[in-house]
Amino acid sequence: MGTMADAVSIDDSELIQLAAAGDIGAFDALMRHHNQRLYRVARSVLHDEADAEEAVQEAWWKAYNHLQDFRAEARPATWLTRIAINEALMLRRRNKSREAVIQSAHQDQRTQDTMPMDELPLAIPASSQPDQQAWRSELRSLIEQRIDALPDIYRSVFVLRGVEGMPASEVAAALDLPEATIRVRFMRARRLLQDALSRDIDQRTKDAFSFAGERCDRIVAAVHARIKHQASSR
């Protein structure tokens, strides 16, 4: 497979064409261009950083294996965002199923053990990701918490429209909803946030859910490894 030295001046549609022809450098450039947006929207669905990262990796893997299916008249950002949303929704469904099984197992265990479940030692939580250190600002943390607290029907709309700045038409296409619905939900989400923060939210959301270079590199490397594995197994 070939590589591309400089993809800065090439648009996304051309990057997809080059990647479909085997240019891994073009695909890397495409990932780095859209990683932050896909991560943010996946996180808005999953409420978990590790799960969001997993969903984005799977979304890129699916996109890589369907590059030939991309239609030139479509917007690459919308196409990729829809893939990421679908992967996040599937992962959320799997997580809910797994939680139901675990909960059932815990209930069964409580009937057998003499020690109550609430007295059993708890697992030590995983250490924080390095990029979380960038979120130490009290204001930024408050904004993120408020966004997380939005009802599901508003959260993804606000992340794509308010944080990412996508046009309402693109958000509608990405979420498969009428544009009028997107506009209404975005206005309601803004009102909820403004009421919670009691200040102008538009000037304070640009840095929400920061996307550190390390996570971007990790996602690119993980997808790259799968591409190499696929190529070597042929």
Residue 68 is classified by DSSP as G
* Structural domain includes residue 29: yes
Res. 198 pLDDT band, cuts 50 70 90: low
Quickly state the pLDDT bin for 211 (edges 50, 70, 90).
low
Residue 100 is predicted with a pLDDT of: 52
| Residue scoring higher pLDDT (205 or 134) | 205
Q: Is residue 128 part of a domain?
A: no
Q: Give the separation between CA 3 and CA 29, rounded to whole angstroms.
A: 11
Q: Is the pLDDT assigned to residue 202 strictly greater than 60? A: no
Give the closest residue to 31 by CA, choosing from 83, 69, 90: 83
What is the total count of domains within the chain?
1
User: Does 153 reside within a domain?
Assistant: yes
Q: Is residue 118 part of a domain?
A: no
- Per-residue pLDDT of 39-74, as tens digits, reads 999 999 998 889 999 999 999 999 999 999 898 777
Question: Residue 75: how many CB atoms within 10 A of its CB?
Answer: 16
* Per-residue confidence (pLDDT) for residue 229, from 0 to 100: 86
Q: How many angstroms separate the CA atoms of 103 and 84, rounded? A: 28
pLDDT digits (tens, 9 = 90+) for 112-160: 443 333 332 333 344 444 444 444 456 777 788 888 889 989 999 999 9
- Residue 2: CB partners within 8 Å, gap ≥ 6? 22, 23, 24, 25
Choice between 105 and 209, residue whose per-residue pLDDT is larger? 209
Structural domain boundaries enclosing 209: 12-95+136-232
The structure's pTM equals 0.66
pLDDT tens digits, one per residue of 79-112: 999 999 999 999 988 877 555 544 544 444 443 4
Residue 119 lies in a domain: no
The contacts found for 89-92 with CB under 8 angstroms, 24 or more apart, are 89/45, 91/46, 91/51, 91/54, 91/55, 91/58, 92/45, 92/46, 92/51
Is 219 domain-assigned? yes
In a domain, 124, yes or no: no
The verdict on residue 210 lying in a domain is: yes
